[in-house]
């Protein structure tokens, strides 16, 4: 048996936990485990009074797609038995701790709308329960109404009244109130709802019995006699109000005083949002806030305790985890001088308590090694699904072999624009003043740092450059324009090093989708800029991205820690440190082998140079305009009949193919001219690829 709640006549809204319904359920029904979709529909027609000859129904289940303890509800259309059985099985196995099937129901007239009789109701095809719930004549038509309305039967033998669970079927008497049949996911939820109702009414309660399977409360006024009885379902997985006896006749004068049933735990749930937004809210502000909501004012002491509890609900697990993390990070810092750690928190009214927002760290060997890497960093983030939630931010560098080198990490509680700003400002302090290119996704919070003079990443200083990751660029194109051919073309265009290929590619994009063309032209541009091709295309890059097109932070994180998303934070830091140490040990070993073999460049660059040298035989020098050492202008003709113009001299080493500038490695054309002029091509290779640099990383 499992409980089904049926909602109809209201609308679906999106709340903080996802989809929710703006009305109380119209009916609740304990269903047998093997209920089929057809049986379900029959039961729904019976319970709601919707005429099945004239209407069909659209069913959506409220499905908990949350992970761990968190709830995130989405609507799942249920149109056939297989979908329905899947839902039932998942609910019965209750992987998410959710064991109630909630169905949102919409009745659709089979032969079009026939609302031609606004005054009467007999002609209406759709009998929405909320239209009829106040109408006893409609209710009496319910076929399945075997139980009398609450209060009509003796209340003394409450526990025997509902032995036949199958027959529980009551319409809510008031949508926002307590009513017989109402289901609660837990005793806590039930208690909170009962208290809230009474605090709003300014009536006081005494609990008579509160146990794992039973909850009985009555009015504090002995003259009043109001009483509520609720019991758990057979498997103890939900609570249901079984009887409510009488109506309150006690006084509920508004006195603005404290309410005996308003405990600090209750208040703590009311003020979660307030405390989240404003960690330093004072007890007086909390008193005012509660008084605004209800007609009573909690005592100062209660408000103070409620805030402590709310902080615990919001940050308790983090607090515990960070209590462990702080000494651990301190120990790493002591053992590895030069390791940087940065905490990010907000102040509260208590000078000893701060609200945690994030922590960032960079290990000393990574900071040291980065000095020998090309001046490129890619930044990326990924969500943490563990108990604590949050996000990990990572900055990755590239060594001379193009291996990824995790440079810095941060774990943040919530991803906000501010998080990137905080992390990037700190990162600049860690890496020091040095011209650096940052590759990232397309979010504005990162780009905007490069337009802020005080961010440490202001492009105006010539010390910082921002480039988009081509993978994120393509994802964005795919999401925006839904055209796979276009995505492929944009990827090709973004990676071209020759201007003429870039231009012809852009023309093709213009013809395929003009909107996409305009989007690409404006991408990354400041308001006063015509275009910012350098932000995403290799050919306009100017060599700052060193040929690196994609931000590989996520890849790096998952390679290092395949299960990172499930780790508690302390384990995450420990593992990051161990993996970093291992990565650097491996690198040094690989680099030392290269030295032994007297190799000048990293393996990757050596291989690239060899491949380019092999192409030299395909080129022919067709003219050399100057014999001066400083300026050579040479044309080389390939078999493809494409001519390239080169400059080779003291400070000049360029080719119209752009490869030397964009990658820091001479192209086959330049190598051809070097050979002709007996010029040592080795000094044209970027120093960052030097085998000695590799050893230093």
Binding residues vs Zn ion (CB under 5 A): 219, 221, 224, 226, 248, 250, 644, 655, 657, 667, 669
Q: How far is the CB of 657 from Zn ion (least distance, A)?
A: 3
Q: How far is the CB of 177 from Zn ion (least distance, A)?
A: 14
What's the CA gap between 684 and 545, in Å, rounded? Answer: 18
Q: Return the number of the residue (233 or 660) whose C-beta is nearest Zn ion.
A: 660
Written in H, E and C, the secondary structure of 146-176 is CCCCCCCCCCCCHHHHCCCHHHCCCCCCCCC
Q: Return the number of the residue (219 or 567) whose C-beta is nearest Zn ion.
A: 219
Annotate 325-384 with DSSP letters as a single string: HHHHHHHHHHHSTT-EEEEEEEE-SSTT-EEEEEEEEE-HHHHHHHTTS-SEEEEEEEE-
Q: How far is the CB of 223 from Zn ion (least distance, A)?
A: 8
Identify the DSSP state of 5: E
Sheet holding 633-637, edge to edge: 620-624, 633-637, 643-648, 653-655
Q: Return the number of the residue (478 or 615) whose C-beta is nearest Zn ion.
A: 615
Q: Give the residue among 551, 390, 567 at the shortest CA–CA distance from 466.
A: 551
- Name the β-bridge partners of 231: 214, 240
- Other Cβ atoms less than 10 A from the Cβ of 13: the count is 10
Q: How far is the CB of 637 from Zn ion (least distance, A)?
A: 12
Q: Return the number of the residue (128 or 667) whose C-beta is nearest Zn ion.
A: 667
Annotate 212-266 with DSSP letters as a single string: SSEEEEEESSTTT--EEEEEE-TTSS-EEEEEEES---S---------TT--HHH
Q: How far is the CB of 666 from Zn ion (least distance, A)?
A: 8
Q: How far is the CB of 176 from Zn ion (least distance, A)?
A: 18
Annotate 427-443 with DSSP letters as a single string: HHHHH-SS-EEEEE-S-
Q: Return the number of the residue (395 or 655) whose C-beta is nearest Zn ion.
A: 655
**At which residue do the structure tokens 């983030």 appear?**
381
Q: Return the number of the residue (45 or 631) whose C-beta is nearest Zn ion.
A: 631
Q: Return the number of the residue (224 or 442) whose C-beta is nearest Zn ion.
A: 224
Q: How far is the CB of 650 from Zn ion (least distance, A)?
A: 19
Q: List CB contacts of 439: < 8 A, sequence separation 6 or more.
A: 376, 377, 378, 379, 467, 468, 469, 545, 548, 549, 550, 551
Q: How far is the CB of 656 from Zn ion (least distance, A)?
A: 7
Does an H or E element contain 19, and which? Answer: strand 18-21
Q: How far is the CB of 44 from Zn ion (least distance, A)?
A: 36
What's the CA gap between 635 and 672, in Å, rounded? Answer: 11
Q: How far is the CB of 636 from Zn ion (least distance, A)?
A: 8
Q: Give the residue among 400, 406, 338 at the shortest CA–CA distance from 575.
A: 406
Q: Return the number of the residue (87 or 657) whose C-beta is nearest Zn ion.
A: 657
Q: Return the number of the residue (88 or 180) whose C-beta is nearest Zn ion.
A: 180
What's the CA gap between 661 and 669, in Å, rounded? Answer: 13
Q: How far is the CB of 622 from Zn ion (least distance, A)?
A: 14
**At which residue do the structure tokens 């480039």 appear?**
467
What's the CA gap between 670 and 644, in Å, rounded? Answer: 10
What's the CA gap between 359 and 326, in Å, rounded? Answer: 10
Q: Return the number of the residue (551 or 670) whose C-beta is nearest Zn ion.
A: 670
Q: Give the residue among 336, 335, 281 at the shortest CA–CA distance from 306.
A: 281
Q: Return the number of the residue (186 or 623) whose C-beta is nearest Zn ion.
A: 623
Q: Return the number of the residue (392 or 634) whose C-beta is nearest Zn ion.
A: 634
What's the CA gap between 354 and 507, in Å, rounded? Answer: 55
Q: How far is the CB of 239 from Zn ion (least distance, A)?
A: 22
SS3 94: coil
Write the burial class of residue 134 (CB in 10 Å: 0-12 exposed, 13-18 middle, 19+ buried).
exposed
What's the CA gap between 493 and 482, in Å, rounded? Answer: 18
Q: Return the number of the residue (248 or 677) whose C-beta is nearest Zn ion.
A: 248
What's the CA gap between 367 and 342, in Å, rounded? Answer: 14
Q: How far is the CB of 244 from Zn ion (least distance, A)?
A: 12
What's the CA gap between 12 and 22, in Å, rounded? Answer: 6
Q: How far is the CB of 615 from Zn ion (least distance, A)?
A: 10
What's the CA gap between 648 and 654, in Å, rounded? Answer: 7
Q: How far is the CB of 227 from Zn ion (least distance, A)?
A: 9
Could you tell me the two tokens for 605? 């660059």
What's the CA gap between 663 and 686, in Å, rounded? Answer: 8
CA separation, residue 193 to residues 96, 226, 242 (Å): 22, 16, 15
Q: Return the number of the residue (23 or 295) whose C-beta is nearest Zn ion.
A: 295
Q: Return the number of the residue (171 or 612) whose C-beta is nearest Zn ion.
A: 612
């Amino acid at each position: 048996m499992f409980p089904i709640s049926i909602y109809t006549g209201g609308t679906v809204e999106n709340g903080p936990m996802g989809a929710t319904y703006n009305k109380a359920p119209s009916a609740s029904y304990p269903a047998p485990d093997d209920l089929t979709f057809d049986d379900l529909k029959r039961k729904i027609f019976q319970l709601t009074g919707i005429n099945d000859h004239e209407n069909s129904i659209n069913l959506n289940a409220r499905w908990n797609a949350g992970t761990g303890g968190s709830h995130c509800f989405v609507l799942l259309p249920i149109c056939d038995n297989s979908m329905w059985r899947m839902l039932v099985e998942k609910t019965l196995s209750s992987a998410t701790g959710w064991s109630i099937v909630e169905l949102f129901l919409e009745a659709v007239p089979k032969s079009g709308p026939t609302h031609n009789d606004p005054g009467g109701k007999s002609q209406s095809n759709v009998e929405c329960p909320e239209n009829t719930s106040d109408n006893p004549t409609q209710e009496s038509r319910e076929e399945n109404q075997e139980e009398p309305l609450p209060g009509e039967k003796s209340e003394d033998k409450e526990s025997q009244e509902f032995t036949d669970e199958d027959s529980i079927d009551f319409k809510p008497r008031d949508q926002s109130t307590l009513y017989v049949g109402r289901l609660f996911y837990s005793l806590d939820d039930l208690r909170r709802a009962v208290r809230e109702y009474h605090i709003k009414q300014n009536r006081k309660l005494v609990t008579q019995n509160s146990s794992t399977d039973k909850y009985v409360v009555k009015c504090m006024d002995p003259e009043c006699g109001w009483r509520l009885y609720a019991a758990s379902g057979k498997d103890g997985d939900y609570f249901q109000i079984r009887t409510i006896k009488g109506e309150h006749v006690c006084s509920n004068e508004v006195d603005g005083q404290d309410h005996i049933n308003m405990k600090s735990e209750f208040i703590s749930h009311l003020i979660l949002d307030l405390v989240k937004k404003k960690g330093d809210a004072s007890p007086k502000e909390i008193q005012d806030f509660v008084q605004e909501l209800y007609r009573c004012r909690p005592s100062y002491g209660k408000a103070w305790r409620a805030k402590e509890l709310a902080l615990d609900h919001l940050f308790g697990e983090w607090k515990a985890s960070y209590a462990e993390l702080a000494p651990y990070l301190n120990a790493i810092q002591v053992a590895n001088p030069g390791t940087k750690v940065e905490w990010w928190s907000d102040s509260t009214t208590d000078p000893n308590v701060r609200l945690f927002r994030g922590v960032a760290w960079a290990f000393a060997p990574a900071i040291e090694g980065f000095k020998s890497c090309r001046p490129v960093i890619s930044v990326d983030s990924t969500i943490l699904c563990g108990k604590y939630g949050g996000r990990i931010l990572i900055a990755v560098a590239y060594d001379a072999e193009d291996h990824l080198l995790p440079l810095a990490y941060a774990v943040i509680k919530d991803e906000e624009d501010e998080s990137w700003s905080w992390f990037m400002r700190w990162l600049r302090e860690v890496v020091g003043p040095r011209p650096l290119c940052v590759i990232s996704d397309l979010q504005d919070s990162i780009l905007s740092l490069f337009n802020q003079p005080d961010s440490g990443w202001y492009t105006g200083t010539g010390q910082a450059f921002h480039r988009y990751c081509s993978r994120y660029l393509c994802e964005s194109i795919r999401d925006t324009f839904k055209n796979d051919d276009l995505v492929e073309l944009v990827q090709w265009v973004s990676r071209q090093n020759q201007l003429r290929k870039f231009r012809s590619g852009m023309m093709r994009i213009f013809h395929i989708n003009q909107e996409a063309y305009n989007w690409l032209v404006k991408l990354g541009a400041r308001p006063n800029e015509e275009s910012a091709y350098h932000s995403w295309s290799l050919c306009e890059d100017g060599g700052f991205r060193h040929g690196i097109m994609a931000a590989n932070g996520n890849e790096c994180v998952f390679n290092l820690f395949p299960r990172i998303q499930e780790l508690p934070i302390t384990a995450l830091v420990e593992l990051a440190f161990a993996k970093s140490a291992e990565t650097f040990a491996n690198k040094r070993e690989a680099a030392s082998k290269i030295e032994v073999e007297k190799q000048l460049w990293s393996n990757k660059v050596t291989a690239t140079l060899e491949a380019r040298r092999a192409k030299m035989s395909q080129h022919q020098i067709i003219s050399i305009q100057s014999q001066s050492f400083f300026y050579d202008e040479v044309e080389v003709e390939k078999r493809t009949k494409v001519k390239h113009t080169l400059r080779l001299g003291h400070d000049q080493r360029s080719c119209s193919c752009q490869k030397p500038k964009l990658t820091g490695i001479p192209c086959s054309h330049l190598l051809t001219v070097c050979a002709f002029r007996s010029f040592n091509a080795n000094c044209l290779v970027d120093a960052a690829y030097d085998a000695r640099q590799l050893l230093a990383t």
